[in-house]
Amino acid sequence: MIAASAARRRAALLAALLVAWIAGSVLGAGEHETAGARPMFQIEPAHAEFVPVLNSEEPIFVLVIGSDARPDQDVNSQRADSIHILAVNPAKHKATIVGIPRDSYVSIPDHGTTKINAALAMGGPELVVATVESLTGLTMDYWAITGFEGFNSMVNQVDGLVVDVPFAMDDGSSRAYFEPGVQRLPGDEALAFARNRHDLPAGDFGRSENQGLLMISALAQLRKEFAKDPSRLLDWVGAFTRNAESTVALDELMNLAFTGTEVNHKTVVNIVAPGGSGMAGGLSVVTLDMAALQAISADLADDGLLKKGNIPPSPNAPLLEGE
Amino acid sequence: MGALTDRSNPPTVTANRVERASSKKRRKPLALFIVPAVLVVVGVVLLFMLGGGTDSIPIIGDDGPDDTVPEFDFTTTKTTGIPTVSEFDKAALAASAEQTGTEITPTIDDLFTNAFLDPTNWREGDYEEVFAAFAPAALPAAQENVETLTLGTTAGDVFEKVRPNKSNLKYRVLFDPDGNPDTAVVRFTFNATGKRLDGTALAIASSGQLFLQDLDGWKITAFDIVRSDTEAEVTVSTGASGGSGATGTS
């Protein structure tokens, strides 16, 4: 019995040693055990990024045209519903938007004097560019155009535009029914917001400013989405190219889009060329304040930016002040 | 294993229930619990070592430094094509995007092999081969961020060896109106384990997005990369990609 008991004890001891050895191996004896016992710490995360933004001191001028074309109509052969000069200062990461009311009564090169919106139907985007260049003395680097359907699709393809609607709207003509405040607008609602003029005190002037506000909202959204997921840039560029015509080549568009992500939307100045209403040849027209427009154009020419003294009052000021 | 049982004292076969019960009570010593426990532990260890395949052999603390470049390939998990025209063939777009991803992947494999895995590079702190992947406009920014984009210029003073772990790619490809790939964005997650000279280990994690364009070969034109390395406490794979790796802790 004694011998048997001693043998069992030896077996138990051997087994215990083996268990200890195996367990030690599994848990990482020696060096590794030391590693497991040392204090753990989170190593500081590091971030590296590079965005190929344009950094020229020279401003970039883009004429953005909204065509009155309905679905199945050629955007280039209808009247222009909106006309905006987008001036970008790449070096300073700033921009200016100048809306030109569509009913502005101006000289259209080789086509006499009439509403500027007729220039599109008369000679396509190139004639609108020539007209704006003649009017302002600025040289447009690019133009881009879309119609109702393209605008609607473009907005929907970036999952809607988040817009801070500045005041209530209730216009049956454009179907713009909005409460003020931040909201995500799908394509049709963004279009309604852009088209509404009947319940704005300054009519087409106020509408033009709201159209500029949509551009700023798009810029803000692009920046936000790019910061979260840079590949969203491709979605935005794709949505633009699928729904707009433009002289901007794809690679240039990518560069402009990258540059856009660096432009602080809060610093973008959004104005409308000042003027008043009048009649010409039986037509209700907008008569631009040419002295003010020339001062604005001259100011923009060198850097795409406006001095405070050249920023006209907002045409929507009565509504904005009332909010 | 035979040493665990005392063959000189085989179990006695008892004649009746009372005796068996009595015998059981007597013969329930430690060894009876330990032997099965040992067998279970040994089984688990063998399963752990063999079940994971050859990639899972622990290297920490056993075979010292070596100069071989571990084989490494990213796994592409998703590819998406983005058109720039409104009317397009979805199947053709998907196939072209897939093809573009296939063309680019070797560039990304090489980039991370050169940046993290090739001992010749990290021992010397020389990452010229890494910078060759960048377009001229992006090159200065890449060089400025060498410590983030690579194992680091002083890695040779810190690490003994580095082994890759499972790493993934996702592609989004923008096509021009003619259907040619214009810009590709690669979302990547790269993981590796580095064994330090002091025996500790680091779970290396690099993730982010790379924009590439075909400029006489696919080159990186923009990047957004985050390194979130953590201390590691376990073993690493010995070479091929996709092996089980270290678990980072924080």
- Per-residue pLDDT, B178: 95
pLDDT per residue as tens digits for the range A120-135 = 999 999 999 999 999 9
- Per-residue pLDDT, A33: 30
- Per-residue pLDDT, B16: 37
Closest CA relative to residue B134, chosen from B190, B225, B215:
B215
Sheet holding A60-67, edge to edge: A245-246, A142-146, A60-67, A80-89, A94-99, A269-272
In whole numbers, what is the pLDDT of chain A averaged over residues? 88
Q: Would you state the structure tokens that stand for residue B94, as one six-digit string?
A: 């998907």
How much is the average pLDDT of B11-18?
34
In whole numbers, what is the pLDDT of chain B averaged over residues? 79
Please give the model's pTM, rounded to 2 decimal places: 0.79
Q: Would you state the structure tokens that stand for residue B240, as one six-digit string?
A: 């091929």
- Per-residue pLDDT, A8: 58
Cα A270 to Cα B44: distance, rounded to the nearest angstrom: 70
Whether A78 and A121 have beta carbons less than 8 Å apart is answered as yes
pLDDT per residue as tens digits for the range A211-247 = 999 999 999 999 999 999 999 999 999 999 999 999 9
- Per-residue pLDDT, B115: 98
Cα A5 to Cα A42: distance, rounded to the nearest angstrom: 53
Cα A281 to Cα A265: distance, rounded to the nearest angstrom: 41
Q: Would you state the structure tokens that stand for residue A81, as one six-digit string?
A: 């519903």
Nearest Cβ partner for B61 among A18, A31, A250? A31
Q: Is A160 helix (H, G, I), strand (E, B) or coil?
A: coil
- Per-residue pLDDT, A15: 55
Closest CA in chain A for residue B250: A42
Nearest Cβ partner for A7 among B8, B147, B187? B8
pLDDT per residue as tens digits for the range B116-168 = 999 999 999 999 999 999 999 999 999 999 999 999 999 999 999 999 999 99
Nearest Cβ partner for A4 among B3, B9, B233? B9
Q: Do A31 and B249 touch (CB under 8 A)?
A: no
- Per-residue pLDDT, B232: 87
**B57 or A17: whose pLDDT is higher?**
A17
pLDDT per residue as tens digits for the range A52-78 = 888 888 999 999 999 988 888 898 889
In this prediction, what percent of chain B has a pLDDT beyond 90?
65
Q: Which residues contact A267 (CB under 8 A, 6 or more apart)?
A: A93, A94, A95
- With bands split at pLDDT 50, 70 and 90, how would you rate the model's confidence at A27? very low
H/E stretch holding A43: none
- Per-residue pLDDT, A140: 97
Find the helix packing angle between A187-195 and A148-157, rounded to 10°.
Answer: 130
H/E stretch holding A5: helix A2-27
How much is the average pLDDT of A263-275?
96
Whether A268 and A94 have beta carbons less than 8 Å apart is answered as yes
- Say yes or no to pLDDT of A163 above 90: yes
Cα A136 to Cα A161: distance, rounded to the nearest angstrom: 31
How far is residue A248 from each of residues A60, A239, A256, measured CA to CA in Å?
12, 14, 9
- With bands split at pLDDT 50, 70 and 90, how would you rate the model's confidence at A39? very low
- Per-residue pLDDT, A14: 53
> Which residues of chain B make contact with A52, given a CB cutoff of 8 A?
137-138, 221-222
Q: Do B4 and A11 touch (CB under 8 A)?
A: yes
- Per-residue pLDDT, A44: 73
Q: Do B4 and A235 touch (CB under 8 A)?
A: no
- Per-residue pLDDT, B1: 35
- Say yes or no to pLDDT of B56 above 80: no
- Say yes or no to pLDDT of B45 above 70: no
Closest CA in chain B for residue A46: B227
Whether A219 and A260 have beta carbons less than 8 Å apart is answered as yes
- Per-residue pLDDT, B18: 33
How much is the average pLDDT of A280-290?
92
- Say yes or no to pLDDT of A30 above 50: no
Residue A231 sits at the chain B interface (C-beta within 8 Å):
yes
- Per-residue pLDDT, A2: 44
- Per-residue pLDDT, A7: 58
> Which residues of chain B make contact with A26, given a CB cutoff of 8 A?
41, 44-45, 48
